[in-house]
Amino acid sequence: MKGEIGSSSFDNFNSIIRDYPDVNTVRIIDCDGSVDDETCFLLMKRLHDLGINTHIEDDGWVASGGVDFFLSGFQRTKGANTKIGVHSWSDGSNEATDYPVGHQNHLPYIALYFSIGRSQGDAEQLYYFIIHAAPAADVHWMTDDEIVNHSILSE
């Protein structure tokens, strides 16, 4: 995988799975996010439900919606010298952190993390960490400790 998740990504993924049904790992070179959150959510759920793993290649990176996609892997691993970047979302007028904890605007994201295998508590903890890590116009590159503390990898 290389590049951002867009409106055709779900259909492209389904075509790959149809043509190569034995695919068991998506190897990510770089993914800087999503320009279509609805498609990203569908893709994440489909990948996880199929039991497909995700792996960030050596010198690879994921950020924003790319992190969400990576998190949907049934097993999540990474190579050497990788980066994982997170930040708040924005609807163009407001950022996630403009809404109080528990606000309805947070719930779809938390529900998505729950649907890809996290407990409710872990889903909430990860989500609130992500939105407070950096504003929407910036990126926080996670530390090794943060990666461990938030169970980003499954190894």
- pTM attached to this predicted model: 0.95
pLDDT at residue number 111: 96
User: Rounded to the nearest 5°, which phi and psi values hold at 37?
Assistant: -60, -35
Alpha helices in the chain (DSSP H): 9-19, 37-49, 65-71, 107-115, 120-133, 144-149
Mean pLDDT of the 3-15 span: 96
pLDDT at residue number 141: 98
CA–CA gap between residue 65 and residue 35 (Å, rounded): 8
pLDDT at residue number 35: 92
Q: HSE-up of 44 (CA within 13 Å, CB side)?
A: 26
Mean pLDDT of the 39-50 span: 96
CA–CA gap between residue 149 and residue 62 (Å, rounded): 18
Q: What percent of the chain has pLDDT over 90?
A: 97
What band does 151 get if pLDDT is binned at 50, 70 and 90? very high
Predicted confidence (pLDDT) per residue in 32-43, tens digit? 999 998 999 999
Chain CA centroid to CA 39, Å: 12
Predicted confidence (pLDDT) per residue in 84-142, tens digit? 999 999 999 999 999 999 999 999 999 999 999 999 999 999 999 999 999 999 999 99
pLDDT at residue number 99: 97
DSSP one-letter code for 13: H
Task: Map out the domains of the chain as residue ranges.
Answer: 9-149
pLDDT reading at 17 higher than 90: yes
Q: Does the domain spanning 9-149 belong to CATH 3.90.226? A: yes
Select from 45, 40, 46 the least CA-distant residue to 63. Answer: 40
pLDDT at residue number 155: 67
Predicted confidence (pLDDT) per residue in 72-91, tens digit? 999 999 999 999 999 999 99
